[in-house]
Structure 1
């Protein structure tokens, strides 16, 4: 008979144990609710998702791979179902021993390690036929692969050692580790290490986009290492799926990123904002041109349909504090931008310069048209005498050399906004560039002078004084007229009768005195055409092209 005190003592111990278990259960339940609450937090609506982050949601770890592809190679620990029938009968599941063999009765050990699964049946049958010449058939198939334990480490959510089979893919093991860390893990830098050697490198983008996954046969002790997050760019707008995309290397190209994130069929322009060498840059260009654009880590690319533009990017530089790029609503005016700019103390606010791509393109078209006309004029002129023929030949050669050089110049596309009370109402265009120059006290003199240079501005100096300080006119100088290019983009043409006069406000600090070349041509029309082109180049590029 059991003593009453012992019964009471056992009951008391049981109650205490149950309380402990219930307490642990309650704590576990509370902890689980807390974890579930954290894990189930939705991604902020404005946050661009990381490409591939939805890949690991338990789908792979809950479905281990039980089938075997034909290329799977038999390894130690695999289980092979073998059946013999006919004159001799046998049926059993055989395990591949540490030497890589299975033992077949009456036949002996058969070394199957390394044999491809697709060849296994014929391989075993050939060995059986060496003993049983007739009336015995064999059927061998892989029933189960070797159980293995694989380490998963690096930038995963739950690193550890996980059970599986050698036939399971790395997706099974990554999913078992609760997937790649979306904040710090890489989807393009995954390595499988065996005995301190890398046996496979895997880029999951190939699997996500094209369904390509290397067939790696894992072994006990293999290590799957997920590298740290690489450089990434953000692609959004008119694409099939906005996302942050990784790349390996110092930069990538937009075309490579669009192989992963497919663009909308109607997307035809790209707005690219990025920091290059510490300077924030923005561009807006046709998609066909942007495909080879270099993208650096942190770049933001927005694909747009040209009838779908809601904002523009304007680049600012010079004597300013603040951002190098302003994103403004479509239809923004120059005045709206000016209210956002923070000018430095020495900024010349009266000489703000605006450069526009569309204006540069029009200047280029006009220049090319003039050059085409000049070329036609020279090539089609018919000489009347042998003397004219020789002169025209030399003249044509000279003009052709000039045209060749002129076609290489690139207009700057400056829009003159000075002295215009309505300039603030002007609509800005995407890609406009605003430059605020520094207040200066110098005058530059360029072109056909002996020593092109910059000189300190003196209000009492005349043009003749500045020319003398630059060494005087060169032999090929046009001494009849000079051009003064002001910082604000306006120009002043001064004839020789005013060279020795004080110009007052017509010559200001920061101006550029441009001495044009003299046209040495015997043909009046050619001289006129070349002069027009020279002046167009000087004003459009702020440079003198020698003739």
Structure 2
């Protein structure tokens, strides 16, 4: 067996370090200039050079601590090595940190999260989720919110009671008469190492206790008076990089297990990672934090949800256990409360506490009684809880409470509507108990109130309604006794307008805005014409008629059904005397006033017409729009006004259209003989188109090759059919016809065995119709069936005859 002493073991390790050590020394030495301090040597290295050094160190199989020890043995300071180490760690963190972990820039905060923290797996968020109930368990949504992760804030000052442990990093800044900077990492055995000073044990101490111990050792190591008043030297001890801890969650949580969290993490942070208590079975009010097999805190999440109390959200320590117990008592509260849900209750809590959890009664809640459905050993039973019992009533497991809604009715309401100044709802109370008092409270009757009758709609004890009518005028005058009112009474006072048709007057004819308007008393004919925007340009003011309904009743049937009045109104709306229908005498027209339903007619002057025009286009000298100058203007007059025809005009193809349709006519005869019937009177909107001669003949319909061919003077109808390939099998040859370019049509004429085809002119269209489909024709199968039937019948008849 081979043995080695300590010295030989040291040289054995040094032999492995030589390659990396030389690399480290050469890397730092290559940037060293004359009399530079160690700080400048590390700061001059680029990130790429530091990363290359780190990769080479990794490939050698040496750890960072081994490289640092080798560098210190060659005279490099602890500060120089710490800076190099920080830069290597920062580069490694940037390249390896998962996307769902956040980091803090050490240049701004001096603190970062560990790399190995657990993260919540939202993809497992559906595990053991309650899907059978419509009501949610109160508090279950707290840990389902992705924006509420309870992660610790790294930017806060280090808590003075923070317990230091392995992997924490402590920074020491010495300033004043002496300076120094140390970045110390707590080793697995709980110590930190300051150069030239024995290892300092800090694990398990608070940061405040660790600071005092480190400063005390620094005083012994050469920093005399450090941190003492008047010494001129001070030290600042801070926590930079923090460690991770492992906590275990057991019991009724959504995802039990062991989680790695920051050493600054709290109980809520760990519960969030585990998905919180299981809504089906877990308790939201009995969550125990166990440290060293002893319960140190019990969390009630209702304190946080309802009062934002975080006293129980303590910081966790390594190997802490969080246990979520089973719930003991859960009850349902629904109906008119602010937060209907399933709530968990602890012993000693009452129905009043439950209502407080639900936010209290809703605005429309019926508070006099709460309905409870409670389970018994065999079945359920109903319990009505009065308002006085709420404060002392003790809920039991499985209770279901329902808060009803108040009735949609009033205990003291009376109503008034119609012709009063302030209709609406009023309270039945002393001083407001009769009809007259209600009308006075509504600020009295309107002037249009119908005084002969008013009605009260009253609710009977059996909920039916009855009508009570009375003479309103006599009641208000004191001639009859005032009527007492009851709850739910509704007083209706009619207006005189409610008992008649809506009054209106109408104006029609040559006014700018003919309309039907609301009748207003004392309105004259001139007033109505002014309301209609005045006369149109073509109005005939000296002939205004008013048609009035006959209102007088008579024993017999009158021969006249209306009363007519005639006026002469100037354009300044001055009315001349009128002719009375009763006396046929002239009276003063200024006193004439319109009555409801009158209709005023304003006639148009017989010689007033709007301009009418026709459009001429094609082969004329002056195409364009032409106004119709007189009532006798015809097509030939229109052509003459257009300057006559151009030399290329083709009159057999001229088309005259009215309302978009071609009027079939041969206009070439119109120019030669204007007295022919085809010389039509022109109307507004007519169009005349005179084309050039067309050299195309179109053949359509039942031919083998429908197409357009050139016109040939020596071709007849049959020749053009041949040009299109001849007739098809289903062509109706005898019905072939031609459409001339002027819109006229001519058909084939048949006489005995002779056929007379129409003449073909340039621009014509030859049309051959198709035979109609024979939908009644029998199929082959049908014909065979009929023949078989006939054969069978024939054989049967023969047999009968022979017998």
Bin of the TM-score, shorter chain as denominator length: 0.3 to 0.5
Q: Which is higher, the Rg of structure 1 or of structure 2?
A: 2
If asked which structure has higher relative contact order (CA below 8 Å, sep 6+), I would say 1
More helix by share: 1
TM-score, normalised with respect to structure 1: 0.43
TM-score, normalised with respect to structure 2: 0.31
